[in-house]
């Protein structure tokens, strides 16, 4: 047991960011291209030789041949709290589309997202890369409505389940429900709080820092665990779920703000994913609870979530 906990603690830094995102701009001119990368400094704390490694994990190609890296310059910028890279590439011939392969998640954290915006002759395109989508082709044409819906709703699905905190909070929500009716109420108010946050935040002057969002998300897991352990008969738990949904909505707000995606499509995709996972978790916990009632699985799971939430919160404060 002690060894398992040690391995779990050692693995936590790999998932230590709820919101992990970088951005880049690619400008194509004939057979040449200029790329600029911006990545938060805290994302590269465990990346070895970032001045070399980062650009090795993104490639541009056309006609089946990779572009040749002509020059590069990488440096930390303390003023903006960003790590900046610029690079020039040369293709074998003038291009009208660019294939991109990007796996920054492999050297940062598994839930890392890279947003790439590109321009060629006044035409624009963009790509979003993560653990599930590492390749795309920029064709510099307006996307169809179907492509927009699939891409943006799909991004909501991935974002809802890409981080350990998100999944563990859904587990805590499933544990907190004392029946199907209460589970439905908790899910509804949680999603309502999440959506309200995304819709309201663009209209207020305060904008949360990613580190604050991460700390708040960790606390939501811990607080719900406290509710389960110390207030098993507490009423209005649905209201608590709604308030905690607001904190989780901050993460989606940052994602929508960064990508300029449709909030409605992203939230719709996220809601579908969250409801499906909630249903699966609730069913699993129900069966485990009946089969191993003497082992008090509810209390054991809630205790684990409480410890996890508090440890993660402390890590965010010290980062």
Q: Verify that 258 and 310 share a domain, yes or no.
A: yes
Query: Would residue 167 count as lying in a domain?
Result: yes
Tens-binned pLDDT, residue by residue, of the chain (319 aa): 334 334 333 334 444 455 678 999 999 999 999 999 999 888 887 788 999 999 999 999 998 899 999 999 999 998 888 999 999 999 999 999 999 999 998 998 887 889 999 999 889 999 989 888 899 999 998 888 998 899 899 989 988 887 677 787 788 788 878 788 888 998 999 999 999 999 999 888 777 776 777 777 777 777 777 877 777 776 677 888 888 888 888 889 888 988 889 999 999 999 999 999 999 988 887 777 666 655 566 677 778 777 777 777 776 666 5
Q: Verify that 312 and 252 share a domain, yes or no.
A: yes
Tokens of 245: 């949904």
Contact present, 108 and 20 (Cβ < 8 Å) = yes
Among residues 98, 114, 142, the one where a domain terminates is 142
Q: Verify that 239 and 178 share a domain, yes or no.
A: yes
Q: Verify that 132 and 49 share a domain, yes or no.
A: yes
Q: Verify that 190 and 273 share a domain, yes or no.
A: yes
Query: Would residue 34 count as lying in a domain?
Result: yes
SS3 of the chain: CHHHHHHHHHHHHHHCCCCCEEEEEEEEECCEEEEEEEEEHHHHCCCCCHHHHHHHCEEEEECCEECEEEEEEEEEECCCCEEEEEEEEECCCCCCCEEEEECHHHCCCCCCEEEEEEEECCEEEEEEECCCCCEEEECCCCCCHHHHHHHHHHHHHHHHHCCHHHHHHHHHHHHHCCCHHHHHHHHHHHHHHHHHHHHHHHHCCCCCCHHHHHHHHHHHHHHHHHHHHHCCCCCCHHHHHHHHHHHHHHHHHHHHHHHCCCHHHHHHHHHHHHHHHHHHHHHHHHHHHHHCHHHCHHHHHHHHHHHHHHHHHHHHHHC
Among residues 79, 114, 142, the one where a domain terminates is 142
Cα atoms in the 13 Å half-sphere on the side-chain side of 18: 33
CATH assignment of the domain containing 109:
2.60.40
- Expressed as residue numbers, the domain containing 55 is 20-142
Query: Would residue 261 count as lying in a domain?
Result: yes
Query: Would residue 1 count as lying in a domain?
Result: no
Q: Verify that 195 and 227 share a domain, yes or no.
A: yes
- How far apart, in Å, are the Cα atoms of 158 and each of 111, 166, 182? 9, 11, 26
Residue 18's nearest CA partner among 168, 151, 197, 165 is 165
CATH assignment of the domain containing 302:
1.20.1250
Query: Would residue 14 count as lying in a domain?
Result: no
Contact present, 270 and 156 (Cβ < 8 Å) = yes
Q: Verify that 116 and 190 share a domain, yes or no.
A: no
Q: Verify that 87 and 234 share a domain, yes or no.
A: no
Q: Verify that 189 and 119 share a domain, yes or no.
A: no
Query: Would residue 260 count as lying in a domain?
Result: yes
Q: Verify that 50 and 112 share a domain, yes or no.
A: yes
Q: Verify that 48 and 126 share a domain, yes or no.
A: yes
Give tens-digit pLDDT for 268-280: 999 999 999 999 9
Query: Would residue 15 count as lying in a domain?
Result: no
How many independent structural domains does the chain possess? 2
Question: For the whole model, what pTM was predicted?
Answer: 0.74
Q: How many residues does the chain have?
A: 319
Give tens-digit pLDDT for 94-108: 999 999 999 998 998
Among residues 90, 109, 142, the one where a domain terminates is 142
Q: Verify that 88 and 181 share a domain, yes or no.
A: no
Query: Would residue 7 count as lying in a domain?
Result: no
């Amino acid at each position: 047991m002690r060894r398992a906990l040690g391995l779990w603690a050692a693995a936590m830094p790999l998932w230590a960011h709820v919101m992990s995102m970088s951005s880049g701009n690619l400008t194509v001119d004939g057979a040449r291209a200029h790329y600029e990368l911006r990545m938060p400094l805290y994302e590269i704390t465990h990346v070895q030789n970032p001045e070399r490694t980062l650009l090795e994990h993104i490639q541009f190609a056309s006609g089946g041949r990779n572009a040749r890296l002509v020059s590069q310059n990488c440096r930390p910028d303390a003023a903006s709290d960003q790590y900046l890279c610029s690079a020039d590439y040369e293709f074998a011939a003038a291009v009208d589309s660019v294939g991109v392969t990007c796996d920054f998640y492999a050297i940062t954290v598994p839930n890392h997202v890279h947003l790439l915006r590109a321009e060629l002759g006044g035409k624009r395109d963009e790509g979003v890369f993560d653990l599930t989508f590492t390749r795309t082709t920029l064709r510099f044409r307006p996307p169809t409505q179907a492509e927009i819906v699939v891409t943006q709703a799909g991004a909501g699905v991935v974002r809802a389940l890409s981080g350990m905190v998100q999944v563990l909070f859904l587990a805590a929500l499933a544990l907190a429900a004392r029946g199907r009716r209460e589970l439905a109420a908790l899910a509804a108010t949680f999603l309502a709080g999440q959506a309200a946050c995304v819709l309201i935040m663009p209209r207020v002057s305060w904008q949360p820092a990613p580190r604050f969002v991460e700390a708040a998300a960790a606390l939501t897991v811990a607080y719900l665990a406290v509710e389960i352990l110390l207030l098993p008969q507490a009423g209005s738990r649905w209201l608590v779920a709604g308030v905690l949904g607001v904190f989780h909505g901050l993460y989606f707000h940052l994602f929508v703000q960064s990508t300029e995606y449709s909030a409605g499509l992203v939230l719709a995709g996220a809601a579908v994913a969250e409801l499906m996972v909630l249903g699966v978790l609730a069913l699993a916990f129900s069966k485990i609870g009946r089969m191993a009632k003497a082992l008090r699985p509810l209390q054991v799971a809630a205790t684990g979530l409480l410890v996890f939430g508090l440890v993660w919160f402390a890590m965010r404060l010290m980062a």
